[in-house]
Structure 1
């Protein structure tokens, strides 16, 4: 019986070549994209799965609530928490502490390079199953000034020399290499090149007369605490312990409310977006985005298949009627249609797999893939997922047509499928067409909006001159030294010192008080000199620049317009000359100027009250405003002059515009991905509309021939046939436009800066569907009208 079903399905697929090709192309394209997304998602869920104790390892997160309404969740937590819990609790078996050193300079035989470093407590290799060569897991991080290197880091630092047992200078201190981590296919959220013993960090702190290392409860920014829970311990059992600790340690802190909670190791990546994450990984929200993208594309293709299958089934209604008349049961007819659907899905999956092989290299070259360490692998498990996915798609897309057509009564369908109605005045054909048009409009409008939003973020005006300002990393050198050397270059108009690059989302904070005993007014802050406003092309709206000769005292501030409002001044001019107590430095600072608001943070973040403060010791960047007919030649001069400043370290500089683009390169990759999805969506929708147009032309082919016999010309026939579809397109637009508006407004409202939905986008999406629909219907009507009526009506 099954063999007969397969044979019949195969013959039907070949007989209806046009419908089969449309379905297979649409499904294979969508399945290939969905396969790619499945591979990426499986890759991301493989993080930290190689640890044997992964189900019992938990990381402590810090939830910080500022001023009752601003909630920030950190992946980090105070190091002191580990000792407090280990002494008082019987719930844990072991613990590990990490301290983030961000990046350090490793030196060996006169050469130096930056490395990503972490400090780790001695039980690190007992808790985590990283491969280790050279020493015992419990000993390699036991002593101060010992390090374990990754295999790649060892080659970078020592070259051909043996790394194990050798010494390397990191941050001016000598460390002994006690272990090497070989290359592995496994991935972890704990990312480093150099892993130094935590006792080294403690020894460094003592050298600098810092006696409170590991005891500061307010430092929940750089430490990471991991607990190995005892068997059968519930993570919720820690909640009362954490509540007691926070009540004791933060009782006097009126500004911040800190809460601790546990996060299972396997739920870190992918997981929620957290501050101070120890490594880069794909957040779960992006996984949801990919899943949503896959669903929308797959649903579009499946909807095409379903609607076209129903349409084709109506043409095969008499066949079904005959089958039922000679004794076929409803279950047998359903099985026949389902097997046909699954066969088309499996054929599409095979073609989709071939397409996937060409997609993988293209996506692997994206910066997003390398930043997030996405290395899609194909194995038996992945192939099994592909087969299951295609099989399920076939069942789902074939379920409705098979159920629907198998319910027809033989007497009714043998009289003619065109008379089949779902409602009194609506034929099934019209419902299918309106649904197809509406779904296509919603999808295309949504994709256009996503593309516009991402494109806006990449090219938005930010309120400062980003194309002519060139940043040079001071790398610890004094700004005045760098300024003196680069000022001699004619193409450099002006030089400014600052702490941060605007538009990237990084900033410091400042706490101002009207009086010493008042509550803090928190604002964002950049450190900058008196050339900063001119260099960046900012606009003063009141007051003036920093007074000359005050670039090092930090006693003057320039605020933006939002700060004026936050300080409750009626106008910018009213703020000039007012003094505030700066809590951290215990000094009064005076407002000397007000600048126009500009985007100093990333575009997906809300800009707030912002302060420029003249603290010369905080400068990390030299910003050069350049005017040159030959930028490449000028940059070469800058690189050459750097050798006078620091011959040992590599020159680091780039235009602000390039720096911002590099920051948004992740989003640029998303634009390419969404753009690809847009083209794919329109192609799939076009295939669906073409298929439905072909079907509708076939159902009215006799009408067209009769009109032609009675003397109607081609243009008249096209108009008469298309008129009904214009009404259906109008109805589809009335349904789709409000739904598209509401759905897209839901996600746009959560963005700090977003595009307006606008009539252009709405009607642009509707026009695309209208154009494709009319083009498809016109082409098929034209084809029918050019046929020979004698051939088409010979049996009538």
Structure 2
């Protein structure tokens, strides 16, 4: 029986080639998009799930507001973890990671290689994160100072294929330090927020320990089985009063935490589940670039809607062409065929179409993977799709899609009454279908929402790219790792500045882009810091050439200068700080920096005010910031003015090789680093654009099929109208107007939906564009025009047909 169903289904597909191609190709596009986005969504949701007991691991977050300045950090203080383990039995284990020196220079033979994402960790690292240890003992690997655990790929890079445990890893250029390899662990998977390849012993951290008010460590805790982390969080208030308040009293003039809160301040700690970090954490000093759960939801919905639109095309064409199958159904029923048998026949046709489309979709998906990886920032391969865990899904998907697409047509076609069919009383009812109209409207609602959203996303990205940032990001070359030059780093800077095409150069360890160095300190308008006048502020160390090199503007006072010996006790503030202090002219006024003792502060004189500049993402407001005079020499920035930038880079690299001792030359352009801050938005914009094009294409493909069928059904009517003198455009209007009405209705539904969605998305940005009315009009007109072109193409073809021929064939 099944064989017979499939044979008849195949014959019907061959008989109606045009409609079969439209159905199969439309479904294939929908399935391709669905497969690609499914890969993305599954990968995003899988982060850190490879770890045993991942559901019991949490990271401690710190949210602090002091003097109007807020800091929401993925960091905590160094004593936090050990104290929790000591005082609270709910904590099974903790580990601290120190990543301020995450970039290390590792010697390999006579040269040095740069390794990023290096950390120092407690000896408990492998207890909290039970990675698979290939060599050595993870429990004791980091017990002693000058020990290091490395990943399998790092071991192979530096020691070849032989054993690595017991060998020496040498780091540093000017002050080399040797570490004994005590463990080799399996490479951490791509789907992990913690991508570290080299873990040094925590006992090598050069730090003044014991300060609860200094937040510089990633602290993870593993709670015991059955502990509710939300209930455990409630104990942090007692923890603050017991440990943090006493140290705060020595730092600022404060009597109680209630007094601290009444002044509008707060200090809060929370636990972030390990499995939520990648998609739900967006704190300062994240370990890396995280994803966004909102984008996962958006991509999932869009992929599902694309698939639905493709299924809707199948439903529309199947029901629209029902008149052609009506007599077949009527004769079968007269001959005794039961309705269930007819339903199975039509479902077999739908499922066969779905599997044919799915086969094409697999080919498309495999071919498009490299391009999708570039857009989504992933590393999928064909083996990712065909791994055994996905096979049940791959086999069930076309079955489910075929059943979904064929469900309504099967029941609709099998419901015909034989007498009415054989007396040809059905044709009049096929011309109009409210259900079919609703499906077409749904297709264009989805298309219009995506088109409007794409316009607004690109408008916001264009705004970010061209807004006055308060500094110049274009043609700024950043050379990293310049501290490795030692005393030659000043020579290197001066030599590069002499090159043709280089306008200026500065030590630039601090830069106004993500993943650059950050530092903050507590300041006050008075010599005694208390809860009313104290505030936290970003504290950057720069030289006298930094401001002109980055194109910043001094609006009051002056820049740092070697001519002023007292500039070491001077400070330059931004406009936001001046506003917070309430000074019309702050130049010459004093600020007082905290030293760790409430009654002892260092006095700093304000010598200038720099115009506000965006030193973090535009999702955040510009906060208070000050410059201190000094040399942050681990990076350098050079303002260049040449069209031959690559030739200049080679020239700078040549100078580097003369002054360095085997160190690799690393550089990037500041505008590239700036763009990286908005990679997620750029990806969303690109994917939204692609999906918008595809949804409109599939919807128009369905329109093309429908108008082709309707033109066939109305051949005699068109012939009669032409004989009676109807013009070409009146016939085109006759065939097109109903579909264009549906697009108009879709616009009225889509416009408010798109406005709400995009207004919600823009709320994540402190600096954002307004949503203009013309974007909605432009999207509506463009979609209406495209739909009209699709419909009119076939309408004109039908209207141009010779009426004599159409009436004779009728």
TM-score bracket relative to the smaller structure: 0.7 to 0.9
Cα distance change, pair 276–599 in 1 and its aligned pair in 2 (3 A): closer
Cα distance, 1:779 vs structure 2: 1.6
Quick check: 1:469–1:623 contact (8 Å CA) kept in 2?
A: yes
Q: Normalised by the size of structure 1, how large is the TM-score?
A: 0.86
- 3-state SS of 1:223 partner: strand
Which residue in 2 is equivalent to 1:217? 212
Alignment partner of 1:445 out of 449, 452, 462? 452
Q: What CA distance in whole angstroms lies between the structure 1 residues aligned with 2:558 and 2:93? A: 59
Quick check: 2:147–2:181 contact (8 Å CA) kept in 1?
A: yes
Q: Which runs of 5+ in 2 are unaligned?
A: 249-259
Quick check: 1:418–1:699 contact (8 Å CA) kept in 2?
A: no
Quick check: 1:557–1:611 contact (8 Å CA) kept in 2?
A: no
Q: What CA distance in whole angstroms lies between the structure 2 residues aligned with 1:314 and 1:508? A: 74
Which residue in 1 is equivalent to 2:306? 297
- 3-state SS of 2:269 partner: strand
Map 1:80-479; keep pairs closer than 5 Å.
Answer: 80-100=79-99, 101-107=101-107, 109-115=109-115, 116-126=117-127, 128-158=129-159, 163-171=164-172, 172-182=176-186, 188-201=192-205, 210=208, 212=209, 215-227=210-222, 229-230=224-225, 232-236=226-230, 238-251=232-245, 253=248, 254=260, 255-261=265-271, 263=273, 265-278=274-287, 282-313=291-322, 316-317=325-326, 319-320=328-329, 331-365=340-374, 368-369=377-378, 376=384, 378-403=386-411, 414-419=424-429, 430-454=437-461, 456-458=463-465, 462-473=469-480, 475-476=482-483, 477=486
Q: What CA distance in whole angstroms lies between the structure 2 residues aligned with 1:635 and 1:729? A: 54
Which residue in 2 is equivalent to 1:64? 63
Cα distance change, pair 494–190 in 1 and its aligned pair in 2 (3 A): closer
Cα distance change, pair 79–565 in 1 and its aligned pair in 2 (3 A): closer
Q: Normalised by the size of structure 2, how large is the TM-score?
A: 0.84
- State the Cα deviation string for residues 560-617 of structure 1 (Å, max 9, x = none): 4444443345xxx6444443333359334444444443333233x2231443414213
Q: CA RMSD in A?
A: 3.8
Q: What CA distance in whole angstroms lies between the structure 1 residues aligned with 2:16 and 2:382? A: 41
Quick check: 2:453–2:688 contact (8 Å CA) kept in 1?
A: no
Quick check: 1:61–1:73 contact (8 Å CA) kept in 2?
A: no
- State the Cα deviation string for residues 617-661 of structure 1 (Å, max 9, x = none): 345443322234633333233222234543342233333223334
- 3-state SS of 1:225 partner: strand
- State the Cα deviation string for residues 109-141 of structure 1 (Å, max 9, x = none): 543333332333334445544332332343333
Q: Which runs of 5+ in 1 are unaligned?
A: none
Q: What CA distance in whole angstroms lies between the structure 2 residues aligned with 1:403 and 1:290? A: 32
Which residue in 2 is equivalent to 1:601? 616
Q: What CA distance in whole angstroms lies between the structure 1 residues aligned with 2:594 and 2:138? A: 46
Cα distance change, pair 30–3 in 1 and its aligned pair in 2 (3 A): same
Q: What CA distance in whole angstroms lies between the structure 2 residues aligned with 1:729 and 1:366? A: 31
Q: What CA distance in whole angstroms lies between the structure 2 residues aligned with 1:665 and 1:428? A: 41
Which residue in 2 is equivalent to 1:497? 507
Quick check: 2:320–2:430 contact (8 Å CA) kept in 1?
A: no
| 1:743 counterpart = 2:757 | yes
Q: What CA distance in whole angstroms lies between the structure 2 residues aligned with 1:198 and 1:534? A: 40
- 3-state SS of 2:321 partner: helix
Q: What CA distance in whole angstroms lies between the structure 1 residues aligned with 2:63 and 2:643? A: 50
Cα distance, 1:66 vs structure 2: 1.9
Count of residues in Structure 1 that have an aligned counterpart in Structure 2: 776
Quick check: 2:571–2:629 contact (8 Å CA) kept in 1?
A: no
Cα distance change, pair 240–722 in 1 and its aligned pair in 2 (3 A): closer
Map 1:640-659; keep pairs closer than 5 Å.
Answer: 640-659=654-673
Cα distance, 1:405 vs structure 2: 5.3
Q: What CA distance in whole angstroms lies between the structure 2 residues aligned with 1:97 and 1:374? A: 38
Cα distance change, pair 462–274 in 1 and its aligned pair in 2 (3 A): closer
Q: What CA distance in whole angstroms lies between the structure 2 residues aligned with 1:410 and 1:457? A: 65
- 3-state SS of 1:156 partner: helix
- State the Cα deviation string for residues 383-421 of structure 1 (Å, max 9, x = none): 322222332233333334445555666666752243369
- State the Cα deviation string for residues 408-447 of structure 1 (Å, max 9, x = none): 666667522433698xxx8556555544444432332233
Cα distance change, pair 282–378 in 1 and its aligned pair in 2 (3 A): farther
Quick check: 1:24–1:347 contact (8 Å CA) kept in 2?
A: yes
Cα distance, 1:294 vs structure 2: 1.6
- 3-state SS of 1:538 partner: coil
* Range 703-712 or range 505-514, more displaced: 505-514
Q: What CA distance in whole angstroms lies between the structure 1 residues aligned with 2:496 and 2:368? A: 47
Quick check: 1:48–1:186 contact (8 Å CA) kept in 2?
A: no
- 3-state SS of 1:695 partner: helix
Cα distance, 1:353 vs structure 2: 0.6
Q: What CA distance in whole angstroms lies between the structure 1 residues aligned with 2:717 and 2:381? A: 60
Cα distance change, pair 272–530 in 1 and its aligned pair in 2 (3 A): closer
Cα distance, 1:352 vs structure 2: 0.5
Cα distance change, pair 42–459 in 1 and its aligned pair in 2 (3 A): same
Q: What CA distance in whole angstroms lies between the structure 2 residues aligned with 1:437 and 1:634? A: 52
- 3-state SS of 2:793 partner: helix
Quick check: 1:491–1:627 contact (8 Å CA) kept in 2?
A: yes
Cα distance change, pair 355–606 in 1 and its aligned pair in 2 (3 A): same
Quick check: 2:82–2:94 contact (8 Å CA) kept in 1?
A: no
Cα distance, 1:186 vs structure 2: 8.2
Cα distance change, pair 68–351 in 1 and its aligned pair in 2 (3 A): farther
Which residue in 2 is equivalent to 1:18? 18
